[in-house]
Every structure is written in structure tokens, then in C-alpha cells.
Amino acid sequence: MVSDQNLKKIVVLGTGGTIAGTSSDASDNIGYTAAQVGVAQLLAEVPGLTGVLAGHTLLSEQVAQVDSKDMGFVVWQALAQRVRHHLSNADVAAVVVTHGTDTLEETAFFLQSVLPAALINAKPVVLTAAMRPASSLSPDGPQNLLDAVAVALATGAHGVVAVCSGTVHSALDVQKSHTYRLDAFSSGDAGPVAYVEEGQLRLLRNWPIAHAEYLHEAIEKILVTVDWPRVEIVMNYAGGSGAVVDAMLQTAPGTTALRGVVVAATGNGTLHVDLEAALRRAQAQGVRVVRASRCANGRVLPTAVAEFAHSAGLSPVKARIALMLDLMLR
Ligand code: SIN
């Protein structure tokens, strides 16, 4: 399954996360500090990596060192710039990104949305992570890194994907679905792209394709934007109200005006009558409203409450990114 581009390089970009975390107690898999170990050291500690590389050169670069709960626009911009830089190099076959699990799905979706289609429809960007810190008795990071490199080198691989626990997920579908287990990600209804079995890929469906609606041509603007539009997420629940939306519409001095709201609606986009009224007030004031669902699987079918846009199958956090990008480019 290894491609014939044997002289090409694989670049690994480090951003932090549990995969780079340490704890003073090797048996402690939760009381650790994320983002401590540099990406070069993580790679040096992966047994078998030379064999999987099969002659390819491995380069690494530390783009950030953060717990991904603190991931934000500045790191995203730096990361997208470095990924684009390396993928544009004809000598580079693929980019691997080490990342925390908590917001990996958002970074994956952001990269799939903004990187030029010509690059990511030709080469893969493989995000990987770990649920246990590097100092664990039995860390999952080294195997995930090994699998990520195998995916990066697989013939025909392209698009932004996430590799964790032997499973390859598309950036569009991947969602963290478990708080603790090593197999912490799901692709929901869509199912995974592939499994990695002892370095070999078992492909289940097509690699992600970048489409025009993902705004690839706009990367220049996005990568230099300082003031990202403020888009918040609210949830519908029993006993809900419009109070949070109404409060967000009040712009206190020094705060950014609200530009958009993604509502994590119940079921197929249903909303408490009071929340719906508040969202209507927000929309009347020029705030963009998008309905996603708080259900882990399925999509909001466009027929319900047609006055609000639907998220086209995106989860609330991904719909927020899509709305921010859309607002930035109008
Ligand atoms: C993080 O997301 O950076 C910490 C948690 C993890 O990687 O599992």
C-alpha cells in the first residue's frame, strides 16, 4: 500500500494535546498536563517508524504547543499556512498533524475548508492524537503516529483525515464520541474512510474531496484576518428560553457584536417556542442563524422551521466554523 513516490518527504507538524502530555505518575491517564513534549521527541520514541517510512524522509516542525481546549484562530491560521507551505512543495508527499483530541474535529474541518482544493485533492493531511499521555504505562500515541504515517504514505490518499485507534475518519464526519476510551472518535452514519491494520489500509469508501463551497480560494483572506466574526452556539433543551440569545444581542462596550448563532436544536431542528422567538429577533437584527442538531447522528432535514438556515449535515461546532468563514468572505 506504500506509494511509489519513495523519495518524497513526510512533514509532521506538532500542535500539542495529550499525545504530547506528561504526568508524574505513569499509571495516571487523566491527571496529566497536555502539550509538554516536542513533536521531534514524540517521533523519536515511535518504534518501527523507520520501517513504515520505507526510505521516505521525515521532517518535523512545532507549530504550537497547546491543550486543544484552548485551540483558537491564531494557531489555526499558523497551522493552515504551514500545511499549505509544505503541501505546495513538490518534494512533500503528505503532512501529518499531532493534535489534542478535544477539538481535533474542528481543526480538521477548518483545514479541509480553507486549504486549496488543488493541494488537498492530491495529497493527504493526516491529523492524529492520543487519549493517554506520552508518559503513560501504555500510551496510544506512538501507535496512532505510526498509523498516521502509514496513511500519509498510502497510494491514493488525499484530503484531510483523522487517524485514531486504527480508524481513518474524514474531516467532514469525524466527531469525538467518547470521553475516555482509546477509540474515542466516530464518523457517525457515514462510517470511517478506512482501517489501518498492521500498517496496511483497508479502504471502505472514498477519500474526502474538497468542493468549491468550501471556499478554498479565500485562504489568503482567512489567513490574515485578525477580527474573526463572533458566532456563538446555543442549545435547545427542555425548559429552555430565549434569555441567552437576548443577552448575546446586547453588545457591551469593548465586546464584539454578535454576527451569527448556531443553534444545537433538538431532533430534526426543533426549537422551544421561546428560543425560536429570540432567534427570530436576532435574525431580524441581521444576525445569521443556522440550525444544527444536538443529536450525534443524522442531519437536520431542510423542511423543518424553514425560516432558519440548516447546517447541511454539519455538527454545531463545524456549522459554526462554516458560518464564520462565510461571514468573513462576504
Ligand atoms: C487536548 O485536547 O489537547 C487534551 C485532551 C486530549 O488530547 O485527549
Is residue 7's pLDDT more than 60? no
pLDDT-based confidence at 212, cuts 50/70/90? low
For ligand 1, the distance from its centroid to the CA atom of residue 44, given in whole angstroms, is: 21
For ligand 1, the distance from its centroid to the CA atom of residue 18, given in whole angstroms, is: 5
Work out the mean pLDDT of the chain and round it to a whole number: 93
Q: Are 33 and 111 in contact (CB under 8 A)?
A: no
Single out the residue of 320, 238, 312, 313 nearest to residue 271, CA to CA.
Answer: 238
Output the pLDDT for position 77. Answer: 96
Is residue 1's pLDDT more than 50? no
Question: Which atom of ligand 1 is the closest one to the Cα of 68?
Answer: 3
Would the CATH topology of 9-212 be identical to that of 228-328? yes
For ligand 1, the distance from its centroid to the CA atom of residue 66, given in whole angstroms, is: 9
| Mean predicted confidence (pLDDT) in 261-274 | 96
pLDDT-based confidence at 225, cuts 50/70/90? confident
Question: Which atom of ligand 1 is the closest one to the Cα of 35?
Answer: 3
**pLDDT single digits (tens) 67-118:** 999 999 999 999 999 999 999 999 999 999 999 999 999 999 999 999 988 9
Question: Which atom of ligand 1 is the closest one to the Cα of 102?
Answer: 2
Choosing among 3.40.47.10, 3.40.50.1170, 3.30.565.10, 3.30.1280.10, the CATH entry for 9-212 is 3.40.50.1170
Q: Which of 29, 30, 65, 67 to mutate to test the pocket of ligand 1 (most atoms within 8 A of CB)?
A: 67
Output the pLDDT for position 216. Answer: 57
For ligand 1, the distance from its centroid to the CA atom of residue 99, given in whole angstroms, is: 7
Of 15, 18, 128, 167, the catalytic one is: 18
Radius of gyration of the chain (CA): 20
What class has domain 228-328?
A: alpha beta
Distance CA 173, CA 109 (A): 9
The three-state secondary structure class of 94 is strand
Question: Which atom of ligand 1 is the closest one to the Cα of 19?
Answer: 7
Q: Are 163 and 196 in contact (CB under 8 A)?
A: yes
pTM: 0.96
Give 39's contacts (C-beta < 8 A, 6+ positions apart): 12, 13, 14, 20, 60, 61, 62, 98
Per-residue b or e along 236-254, where b marks 16 or more CB atoms closer than 10 Å to that residue's CB: beeebebeebeebeeeeee
- Calculate the alpha carbon distances from 69 to 15, 72, 104, 262 in Å: 12, 9, 10, 19
Output the pLDDT for position 221. Answer: 82
The residue contributing the CA closest to ligand 1 atom 2 is 100
Per-residue b or e along 57-78, where b marks 16 or more CB atoms closer than 10 Å to that residue's CB: ebebeebbbbbbeebeeebbbe
| Domain spans, the chain | 9-212, 228-328
Q: Which of 18, 19, 28, 71 to mutate to test the pocket of ligand 1 (most atoms within 8 A of CB)?
A: 18
For ligand 1, the distance from its centroid to the CA atom of residue 123, given in whole angstroms, is: 26
Q: Are 294 and 270 in contact (CB under 8 A)?
A: no
Is 18 annotated as catalytic? yes
Distance CA 243, CA 265 (A): 16
Output the pLDDT for position 214. Answer: 53
The binding-site residues of ligand 1, defined as CB within 6 angstroms of any ligand atom, are 16-18, 34, 67-69, 100-102, 129, 131
The residue contributing the CA closest to ligand 1 atom 7 is 100
pLDDT-based confidence at 219, cuts 50/70/90? confident
**pLDDT single digits (tens) 120-157:** 999 999 999 999 999 999 999 999 999 999 999 999 99
Output the pLDDT for position 220. Answer: 80
The residue contributing the CA closest to ligand 1 atom 1 is 100
Output the pLDDT for position 254. Answer: 81
For ligand 1, the distance from its centroid to the CA atom of residue 70, given in whole angstroms, is: 10
Name which of 61-70, 74-83, 272-281, 297-306 the model is least confident about: 297-306
Distance CA 159, CA 109 (A): 11
Is residue 4's pLDDT more than 60? no
Q: Which of 68, 136, 140, 180 to mutate to test the pocket of ligand 1 (most atoms within 8 A of CB)?
A: 68
